[in-house]
Chains A and B, each alone.
Chain A
Amino acid sequence: MTGHDPGPLIRLFGLTGGRARPQGEAFDLVAIVTTVSVATERADLMLEHLTVLSLCRKPCPVADVAAHLKLPLNITRVILGDLRREGLVTIDRPRPVAQTIDERIYREVLNGLRRL
Protein backbone atom coordinates (compact mmCIF):
# COMPACT_ATOMS: atom_id res chain seq x y z
CA MET A 1 0.00 0.00 0.00
CA THR A 2 1.42 3.32 -0.91
CA GLY A 3 0.20 6.84 -0.48
CA HIS A 4 -2.08 6.02 2.41
CA ASP A 5 -2.84 8.40 5.22
CA PRO A 6 0.16 8.65 7.55
CA GLY A 7 -2.16 9.52 10.44
CA PRO A 8 -2.31 6.04 11.98
CA LEU A 9 1.48 5.75 11.90
CA ILE A 10 1.93 9.04 13.67
CA ARG A 11 -0.53 7.91 16.31
CA LEU A 12 1.29 4.61 16.73
CA PHE A 13 4.68 6.16 17.20
CA GLY A 14 3.03 8.60 19.59
CA LEU A 15 2.33 5.58 21.79
CA THR A 16 6.02 4.85 21.96
CA GLY A 17 7.38 8.38 22.06
CA GLY A 18 8.69 7.92 18.52
CA ARG A 19 10.74 4.84 19.34
CA ALA A 20 10.78 1.90 16.98
CA ARG A 21 12.87 -0.43 19.15
CA PRO A 22 12.21 -1.69 22.65
CA GLN A 23 14.57 -0.95 25.51
CA GLY A 24 16.79 -3.61 27.01
CA GLU A 25 17.37 -7.18 26.00
CA ALA A 26 15.67 -8.37 22.81
CA PHE A 27 12.79 -10.79 23.08
CA ASP A 28 11.23 -13.29 20.76
CA LEU A 29 7.83 -13.29 19.08
CA VAL A 30 6.70 -16.11 21.30
CA ALA A 31 8.52 -15.06 24.46
CA ILE A 32 6.15 -15.40 27.37
CA VAL A 33 5.02 -12.19 29.03
CA THR A 34 3.82 -12.42 32.61
CA THR A 35 2.38 -9.59 34.68
CA VAL A 36 4.16 -8.99 37.95
CA SER A 37 2.00 -6.12 39.14
CA VAL A 38 -1.28 -4.90 37.68
CA ALA A 39 -0.45 -1.32 38.81
CA THR A 40 -3.92 0.11 38.19
CA GLU A 41 -3.09 3.07 40.42
CA ARG A 42 -0.37 4.27 38.05
CA ALA A 43 -1.69 7.42 36.42
CA ASP A 44 1.19 7.56 33.92
CA LEU A 45 0.21 4.33 32.21
CA MET A 46 -1.70 4.41 28.95
CA LEU A 47 -4.69 2.27 28.15
CA GLU A 48 -2.46 -0.06 26.11
CA HIS A 49 -0.19 -0.62 29.08
CA LEU A 50 -3.10 -1.47 31.34
CA THR A 51 -4.55 -3.80 28.70
CA VAL A 52 -1.25 -5.71 28.58
CA LEU A 53 -1.06 -5.93 32.36
CA SER A 54 -4.58 -7.30 32.51
CA LEU A 55 -4.06 -9.74 29.62
CA CYS A 56 -0.76 -11.11 30.89
CA ARG A 57 -1.99 -12.02 34.34
CA LYS A 58 -2.16 -15.33 32.53
CA PRO A 59 1.24 -15.82 30.83
CA CYS A 60 0.86 -14.85 27.18
CA PRO A 61 3.25 -14.90 24.20
CA VAL A 62 4.32 -11.59 22.62
CA ALA A 63 2.59 -12.32 19.30
CA ASP A 64 -0.73 -12.83 21.07
CA VAL A 65 -0.30 -9.56 22.95
CA ALA A 66 0.23 -7.76 19.62
CA ALA A 67 -2.82 -9.38 18.08
CA HIS A 68 -4.88 -8.55 21.14
CA LEU A 69 -3.79 -4.91 21.12
CA LYS A 70 -4.26 -4.79 17.33
CA LEU A 71 -0.91 -3.05 17.16
CA PRO A 72 2.13 -3.79 15.00
CA LEU A 73 4.70 -6.03 16.59
CA ASN A 74 7.43 -3.50 17.06
CA ILE A 75 5.08 -1.01 18.67
CA THR A 76 3.91 -3.78 20.97
CA ARG A 77 7.51 -4.58 21.76
CA VAL A 78 8.29 -1.02 22.76
CA ILE A 79 5.29 -1.06 25.08
CA LEU A 80 6.39 -4.39 26.56
CA GLY A 81 9.97 -3.17 26.92
CA ASP A 82 8.72 -0.17 28.89
CA LEU A 83 6.59 -2.32 31.16
CA ARG A 84 9.55 -4.60 31.77
CA ARG A 85 11.77 -1.66 32.64
CA GLU A 86 9.17 -0.53 35.16
CA GLY A 87 9.22 -4.02 36.65
CA LEU A 88 5.55 -4.59 35.86
CA VAL A 89 6.05 -7.60 33.58
CA THR A 90 8.64 -10.30 33.04
CA ILE A 91 9.52 -11.51 29.55
CA ASP A 92 11.32 -14.81 29.28
CA ARG A 93 14.55 -15.17 27.36
CA PRO A 94 14.71 -16.87 24.01
CA ARG A 95 16.23 -20.30 24.37
CA PRO A 96 17.38 -22.84 21.82
CA VAL A 97 14.89 -25.59 21.04
CA ALA A 98 17.20 -28.20 22.53
CA GLN A 99 16.89 -26.44 25.88
CA THR A 100 13.16 -25.93 25.87
CA ILE A 101 11.92 -29.20 24.52
CA ASP A 102 12.60 -32.29 26.50
CA GLU A 103 11.23 -35.71 25.80
CA ARG A 104 8.18 -35.18 27.97
CA ILE A 105 7.15 -31.96 26.21
CA TYR A 106 7.78 -33.52 22.84
CA ARG A 107 5.44 -36.37 23.72
CA GLU A 108 2.84 -33.96 24.99
CA VAL A 109 2.99 -32.02 21.71
CA LEU A 110 2.67 -35.15 19.61
CA ASN A 111 -0.22 -36.50 21.65
CA GLY A 112 -1.87 -33.09 21.59
CA LEU A 113 -1.61 -32.95 17.79
CA ARG A 114 -3.02 -36.44 17.41
CA ARG A 115 -5.95 -35.58 19.65
CA LEU A 116 -7.00 -32.62 17.50
Chain B
Amino acid sequence: MGYAASESGSTEVASALAIKILIAGGFGVGKTTMVGTISEIRPLHTEELLSERGIGVDDTSGVESKTTTTVALDFGRITIREGLWLYLFGTPGQDRFWFMWDELSIGALGSVVLADTRRLQDCFAAIDYFEQRGIPFLVAVNCFDGARRHEPATVRRALGLGDATPIVLCDVRDRESVKDVLTTLVMYAVEGVFKASRPA
Protein backbone atom coordinates (compact mmCIF):
# COMPACT_ATOMS: atom_id res chain seq x y z
CA MET B 1 0.00 0.00 0.00
CA GLY B 2 1.10 3.54 -0.50
CA TYR B 3 4.73 3.03 -1.31
CA ALA B 4 4.09 1.24 -4.58
CA ALA B 5 2.48 4.29 -6.13
CA SER B 6 5.30 6.67 -5.22
CA GLU B 7 7.11 8.69 -7.84
CA SER B 8 10.42 7.63 -9.28
CA GLY B 9 13.54 8.38 -7.28
CA SER B 10 11.70 8.33 -3.98
CA THR B 11 12.63 4.84 -2.94
CA GLU B 12 15.29 5.94 -0.48
CA VAL B 13 13.05 8.48 1.23
CA ALA B 14 10.10 6.11 1.27
CA SER B 15 12.08 3.81 3.52
CA ALA B 16 12.05 6.44 6.28
CA LEU B 17 8.74 7.48 7.76
CA ALA B 18 7.76 9.84 10.53
CA ILE B 19 4.24 9.61 11.93
CA LYS B 20 2.65 12.59 13.65
CA ILE B 21 0.46 12.45 16.71
CA LEU B 22 -0.89 15.69 18.14
CA ILE B 23 -1.34 16.47 21.80
CA ALA B 24 -4.04 19.12 22.12
CA GLY B 25 -5.94 20.68 24.98
CA GLY B 26 -6.19 23.86 26.97
CA PHE B 27 -3.33 25.88 28.36
CA GLY B 28 -1.60 24.25 31.33
CA VAL B 29 -3.40 20.92 31.04
CA GLY B 30 -0.15 18.95 30.80
CA LYS B 31 0.60 18.64 27.08
CA THR B 32 4.32 19.28 27.35
CA THR B 33 4.55 17.04 30.43
CA MET B 34 2.90 14.25 28.49
CA VAL B 35 5.34 14.63 25.60
CA GLY B 36 8.25 14.69 28.06
CA THR B 37 7.09 11.58 29.89
CA ILE B 38 7.18 9.35 26.85
CA SER B 39 9.70 11.00 24.54
CA GLU B 40 13.13 9.39 24.23
CA ILE B 41 14.60 12.83 23.94
CA ARG B 42 14.05 15.86 26.09
CA PRO B 43 11.17 17.59 24.29
CA LEU B 44 12.70 19.57 21.49
CA HIS B 45 11.66 23.08 21.15
CA THR B 46 11.40 25.01 17.96
CA GLU B 47 9.72 28.22 17.09
CA GLU B 48 7.69 29.39 14.19
CA LEU B 49 8.37 32.97 13.33
CA LEU B 50 5.30 34.88 12.33
CA SER B 51 4.82 38.14 10.63
CA GLU B 52 1.59 39.99 11.36
CA ARG B 53 0.11 38.47 8.23
CA GLY B 54 -0.34 35.19 10.03
CA ILE B 55 -1.52 36.43 13.35
CA GLY B 56 -4.97 37.66 12.44
CA VAL B 57 -6.95 40.34 14.14
CA ASP B 58 -6.62 40.08 17.86
CA ASP B 59 -4.69 41.76 20.61
CA THR B 60 -2.18 43.15 18.17
CA SER B 61 -4.79 45.43 16.65
CA GLY B 62 -3.93 49.01 17.31
CA VAL B 63 -0.24 48.30 17.05
CA GLU B 64 0.87 50.46 14.17
CA SER B 65 4.21 48.99 13.29
CA LYS B 66 4.78 45.60 11.74
CA THR B 67 5.00 43.09 14.53
CA THR B 68 6.73 39.77 14.63
CA THR B 69 6.05 37.11 17.14
CA THR B 70 7.05 33.54 17.68
CA VAL B 71 4.98 30.52 18.53
CA ALA B 72 6.79 27.78 20.36
CA LEU B 73 6.34 24.21 19.28
CA ASP B 74 7.39 21.45 21.62
CA PHE B 75 7.75 18.00 20.28
CA GLY B 76 9.06 14.64 21.30
CA ARG B 77 10.15 11.55 19.46
CA ILE B 78 9.78 7.82 19.86
CA THR B 79 11.96 5.71 17.61
CA ILE B 80 10.14 2.55 16.65
CA ARG B 81 13.09 1.36 14.58
CA GLU B 82 15.72 2.86 12.32
CA GLY B 83 13.74 4.95 9.84
CA LEU B 84 10.36 4.78 11.61
CA TRP B 85 9.54 7.45 14.15
CA LEU B 86 6.53 8.63 16.06
CA TYR B 87 6.51 12.39 16.65
CA LEU B 88 4.39 13.94 19.34
CA PHE B 89 3.54 17.58 18.82
CA GLY B 90 2.04 19.69 21.56
CA THR B 91 -0.33 22.09 19.80
CA PRO B 92 -0.07 25.79 20.61
CA GLY B 93 -2.61 26.58 23.30
CA GLN B 94 -3.64 30.04 22.19
CA ASP B 95 -6.59 30.39 19.86
CA ARG B 96 -4.82 32.84 17.64
CA PHE B 97 -2.47 30.11 16.47
CA TRP B 98 -5.22 27.98 14.96
CA PHE B 99 -3.62 28.21 11.55
CA MET B 100 -0.65 26.30 12.98
CA TRP B 101 -3.02 23.47 13.77
CA ASP B 102 -3.90 23.14 10.10
CA GLU B 103 -0.31 22.52 9.28
CA LEU B 104 0.27 20.22 12.25
CA SER B 105 -2.77 18.13 11.53
CA ILE B 106 -2.08 17.41 7.85
CA GLY B 107 -1.18 13.77 7.63
CA ALA B 108 -1.42 13.29 11.39
CA LEU B 109 -2.38 9.82 12.51
CA GLY B 110 -4.56 11.23 15.25
CA SER B 111 -4.74 13.41 18.29
CA VAL B 112 -4.91 13.16 22.04
CA VAL B 113 -7.19 15.82 23.51
CA LEU B 114 -6.05 16.29 27.07
CA ALA B 115 -8.80 17.36 29.41
CA ASP B 116 -8.89 18.66 32.95
CA THR B 117 -12.25 17.94 34.59
CA ARG B 118 -12.03 21.21 36.52
CA ARG B 119 -12.22 23.10 33.24
CA LEU B 120 -13.57 20.78 30.61
CA GLN B 121 -14.63 23.72 28.46
CA ASP B 122 -10.95 24.33 27.61
CA CYS B 123 -10.94 21.34 25.30
CA PHE B 124 -14.17 22.09 23.43
CA ALA B 125 -12.32 23.99 20.72
CA ALA B 126 -9.90 21.13 20.09
CA ILE B 127 -12.72 18.57 19.92
CA ASP B 128 -14.65 20.73 17.44
CA TYR B 129 -11.54 21.14 15.37
CA PHE B 130 -10.77 17.43 15.05
CA GLU B 131 -14.43 16.46 14.59
CA GLN B 132 -14.85 18.91 11.72
CA ARG B 133 -11.76 17.66 9.95
CA GLY B 134 -12.37 13.97 10.52
CA ILE B 135 -9.10 13.55 12.41
CA PRO B 136 -9.31 10.62 14.82
CA PHE B 137 -8.93 11.68 18.43
CA LEU B 138 -9.46 10.42 21.92
CA VAL B 139 -10.01 12.33 25.11
CA ALA B 140 -7.49 11.68 27.86
CA VAL B 141 -8.61 13.02 31.22
CA ASN B 142 -5.56 14.06 33.16
CA CYS B 143 -6.16 13.11 36.78
CA PHE B 144 -4.35 15.88 38.59
CA ASP B 145 -3.63 15.34 42.25
CA GLY B 146 -6.67 16.37 44.16
CA ALA B 147 -8.82 16.70 41.07
CA ARG B 148 -12.14 15.01 41.55
CA ARG B 149 -12.16 11.79 39.56
CA HIS B 150 -14.91 11.58 37.04
CA GLU B 151 -16.24 8.52 35.36
CA PRO B 152 -15.49 8.45 31.63
CA ALA B 153 -19.25 8.23 31.00
CA THR B 154 -19.81 11.52 32.82
CA VAL B 155 -17.06 13.19 30.81
CA ARG B 156 -18.52 11.76 27.59
CA ARG B 157 -21.89 13.27 28.38
CA ALA B 158 -20.41 16.60 29.39
CA LEU B 159 -18.44 16.78 26.14
CA GLY B 160 -21.32 15.55 24.02
CA LEU B 161 -19.21 12.79 22.48
CA GLY B 162 -20.54 9.75 20.71
CA ASP B 163 -19.86 6.22 21.91
CA ALA B 164 -17.10 5.59 19.39
CA THR B 165 -14.64 8.19 20.71
CA PRO B 166 -12.40 6.61 23.36
CA ILE B 167 -12.17 8.36 26.71
CA VAL B 168 -9.35 7.33 29.01
CA LEU B 169 -8.24 8.47 32.43
CA CYS B 170 -4.53 9.12 32.66
CA ASP B 171 -1.67 10.62 34.59
CA VAL B 172 0.56 12.50 32.17
CA ARG B 173 3.56 12.05 34.48
CA ASP B 174 3.29 8.29 34.40
CA ARG B 175 4.99 6.50 31.52
CA GLU B 176 2.77 3.42 31.55
CA SER B 177 -0.29 5.62 31.60
CA VAL B 178 0.90 7.69 28.62
CA LYS B 179 1.79 4.47 26.78
CA ASP B 180 -1.78 3.28 27.30
CA VAL B 181 -3.17 6.53 25.93
CA LEU B 182 -1.02 6.35 22.80
CA THR B 183 -1.67 2.66 22.17
CA THR B 184 -5.42 3.26 22.48
CA LEU B 185 -5.19 6.18 20.05
CA VAL B 186 -3.15 4.25 17.47
CA MET B 187 -5.56 1.30 17.58
CA TYR B 188 -8.56 3.59 17.27
CA ALA B 189 -7.06 5.68 14.47
CA VAL B 190 -5.87 2.79 12.39
CA GLU B 191 -9.21 1.02 12.70
CA GLY B 192 -10.74 4.06 11.01
CA VAL B 193 -8.05 4.18 8.31
CA PHE B 194 -8.59 0.56 7.36
CA LYS B 195 -12.34 0.89 7.45
CA ALA B 196 -12.16 3.87 5.09
CA SER B 197 -9.71 2.28 2.66
CA ARG B 198 -11.40 -1.11 2.51
CA PRO B 199 -13.63 -1.43 -0.55
CA ALA B 200 -17.30 -1.67 0.37
Binding site for B on A (CB under 8 A): 1, 6, 9, 12, 20, 28-32, 34, 59, 61, 63-64, 66-67, 71-76, 90-103, 105-106, 108-110, 112-114, 116
Q: Indicate if B163 sits at the interface (CB-CB under 8 A).
A: no
- Neighbouring A residues of B2 by C-beta, 8 Å: 95, 98-102
Identify 8 residue pairs between A and B in the complex whose beta-carbon atoms are under 8 Å apart, listed by A's number.
A1-B70, A12-B49, A73-B48, A73-B73, A92-B13, A97-B108, A100-B19, A113-B80
Q: Within the complex, what minimum Cβ distance (angstroms) separates B144 from chain A?
A: 23
Determine whether B182 belongs to the interface, using a CB cutoff of 8 Å to chain A.
yes
Let me know if B77 is at the binding interface, CB within 8 A: yes
The residues of B that contact A20 with a CB separation of less than 8 Å are 49, 51
- With CB as the reference atom, state the residue of chain B lying closest to A74: B49
Chain B stretch 52-110: residues in CB contact (< 8 A) with chain A: 68-70, 73, 75, 77-81, 83-87, 89, 103-104, 106-109
- Not counting A108-B80, A112-B86, a sample of 15 additional A-B residue pairs whose C-beta atoms are within 8 angstroms of each other reads A28-B107, A31-B18, A32-B18, A59-B15, A63-B75, A72-B48, A93-B7, A97-B19, A99-B1, A99-B2, A100-B107, A102-B1, A106-B190, A113-B179, A113-B186
Taking a contact as CB atoms under 8 Å apart, the answer to whether A101 and B12 are in contact is no
Residue B132 CB within 8 A of the other chain: no
B16 within 8 Å of A by Cβ?
yes
CB contacts (< 8 Å) of B87 on chain A: these are 29-30, 61, 63
Contacts of B178-200 to chain A: CB distance below 8 A: 179, 182-183, 186-187, 189-190, 193-194, 196-197
Bound: A10/B15 CA distance, A: 38
